[in-house]
Amino acid sequence: MALRFMTAGESHGPGLVAVLEGLPAGLELTPDDLDRDLARRQLGHGRGGRMKIESDRAEVTAGLRHGRTLGSPVAIRIANRDYANWEERMNPWPVGAEVEEVHLPRPGHADLAGVQKHGFTDVRNVLERASARETAARVACGALAKVFLRRLGMVVLSHVLSIGAVEAPRRGDLEPPDFEGVDESPVRCLDPDAAASMVAAIDAARKANESLGGTYEVRAFGVPPGLGSHVSWDVRLDGQLAQAVMSIHAMKGVGVGEGFDLAPLPGSQAHDEIFWSEEAGWRRETNRAGGIEGGMTNGEPVVVRGAMKPLPTLTKPLRSVDIATKEPAQALRERTDSCTVPAAAVVAEAMVALVLASACRAKFGGDHIDDAVAARDAYLARIGWRR
C-alpha cells in the first residue's frame, strides 16, 4: 500500500496511538479535521456508559508543523479517559502486579481463541486489544486521508441502511447534499421514519438485554476512473476495500455496489451500460457495480456496504466455560453498547478513505500536495474527464 498505518492501544490502557505514513507534504490540516470525525464516531443511539466518560481528542505528535504535513509519518495519540478508573488493572508497570483474572470467554469475541493462541490464563490480555475502542485510532488516520482526498475533489460519506429487522428504503440516487443531516439522525439514517423505528428497536433490545447489528453504506463521490488495477490480485481496489471494511470489529459481510443482490440477476440486468456525450463525456445511467469494474474505479461513486453482527458482549450472557476450571459458566458480563452500527459506518468511511487515498498516492504520486493535484489534473485532461 502506498499509504500505510498502524495502531496500538488497549481499550482501558493509557491511550491509543496511530502512525500514518505516506501523505504528501504541504497538506493543510486543522485540529477540527480530526476531532470532528472522532466525535461523530462516538455518537449514535445505542451507545453505552463508556461514551459518557470518553470525549476523544487527537494529539498530533509528529509529521505536522504549523498545520501542514511534512511528508514524514504522522503520529497521533488519543487518551483513554477511562484509564483513570483502570490504572491498577491496566498499568503497563510494575512487573508481577496481582490483579484479578478474567476466566469467562464471551461467545462471538476474540476471547477464547486469543488465550489459546497466546498461552494466556487471563482473557483480559486479549479482550482489551480486541475491543472496538481501537477504531478511534483508525478514524483519526481516516480523517487525514479524507483531507487529502478533498484536495483531489473527493468526499467519503456514509449512512445506516438497517438496524436489526428495520430497513430504510433503498435509494440509488444519493448525492453529497443528501447526506447533510445524517449526523443529526440518532442512528445516522437518511429516512426519518425508518430512523424512528430503529431507535425503538434499539430501546426494545436494550430492555431485553439484547444487542442489535445492522448494515450501512459508504459512498465516495468525485472518484476518477482508474484507481486500483486489473493486473494483479492484490492491487484490485474492490479486494482492498473488502479487506479494509471487513477488518472492522464485528463485521461479517461486505458488498461492493449491489453486492450479493447481483447474484440472482440475469446478466442483462446486472451491469451498467456505457454512454458518451460531448457535454457530459463518459457516463452510466446505473451504478450496480458500485463504481468498480475489473478492480478499478470507473468514475461512478464508489459504493461499499457492510454487515455488522449484533455485539457479542451481552448483559444476558450466553453459555460458556470457565477456562481455569473447565466448568460450564456464563460468559463475562460487562458494561457494553447495545448497538454501534451508526459508529461502525463512520469507521467504515475512514477505512474506505484510507484505501482510496492510498490508491491515489500510487496513481498520482508527488512529494508535495500540489504535485499530486497537478498529476491528477494532467491525467483527467488526458482521459477527457468532464465532471
Residues that bind ligand EPS (CB under 6 A): 11, 48, 50, 54, 82, 131-133, 136, 313, 334-337
Residue placing its CB nearer to ligand EPS in the complex, 33 or 337: 337
Nearest position to ligand EPS, beta carbon? 50
For the bound state, the minimum distance from the C-beta of residue 235 to ligand EPS, rounded and expressed in Å, comes to 32
CB 296 within 8 Å of CB 239? no
HEC sequence for the chain: CCCEEEEECCCCCCEEEEEEECCCEEEECCHHHHHHHHHHHHCCCCCCCHHHHCCCCCEEEECEECCEEECCCEEEEEECCCHHHHHHHHCCCCCCCCCCCCCCCCCCCCHHHHHHHHCCCCCHHHHHHHCHHHHHHHHHHHHHHHHHHHHCCCEEEEEEEEECCEECCCCCCCCHHHHCCHHHCCCCCCCHHHHHHHHHHHHHHHHCCCCCCEEEEEEEECCCCCCECCCCHHHCHHHHHHHHHHCCCCEEEEEECCHHHHCCCCHHHCCCCEEEECCCEEEECCCCCCCEECCEECCCCEEEEEEECCCCCCCCCCEEECCCCCCEEECCCCCCCCCCHHHHHHHHHHHHHHHHHHHHHHHHCCCEHHHHHHHHHHHHHHHCCCC
For the bound state, the minimum distance from the C-beta of residue 36 to ligand EPS, rounded and expressed in Å, comes to 16
For the bound state, the minimum distance from the C-beta of residue 51 to ligand EPS, rounded and expressed in Å, comes to 6
For the bound state, the minimum distance from the C-beta of residue 207 to ligand EPS, rounded and expressed in Å, comes to 19
Residue placing its CB nearer to ligand EPS in the complex, 150 or 309: 309
- At residue 215's C-alpha, the angle toward residues 213 and 216, to 5°, is 130
Residues 148, 23: Cα–Cα separation, whole Å: 8
For the bound state, the minimum distance from the C-beta of residue 304 to ligand EPS, rounded and expressed in Å, comes to 21
Give strand pairing partners of 275: 283
For the bound state, the minimum distance from the C-beta of residue 205 to ligand EPS, rounded and expressed in Å, comes to 16
Residue placing its CB nearer to ligand EPS in the complex, 131 or 297: 131
Its sign, for the CA torsion 333, 334, 338, 339, is negative
Residue placing its CB nearer to ligand EPS in the complex, 37 or 337: 337
Residue placing its CB nearer to ligand EPS in the complex, 80 or 240: 80
For the bound state, the minimum distance from the C-beta of residue 130 to ligand EPS, rounded and expressed in Å, comes to 7
For the bound state, the minimum distance from the C-beta of residue 347 to ligand EPS, rounded and expressed in Å, comes to 9
Residue placing its CB nearer to ligand EPS in the complex, 35 or 371: 35
CB 14 within 8 Å of CB 356? no
For the bound state, the minimum distance from the C-beta of residue 134 to ligand EPS, rounded and expressed in Å, comes to 8
Residue placing its CB nearer to ligand EPS in the complex, 286 or 336: 336
Residue placing its CB nearer to ligand EPS in the complex, 80 or 197: 80
Residue placing its CB nearer to ligand EPS in the complex, 50 or 288: 50
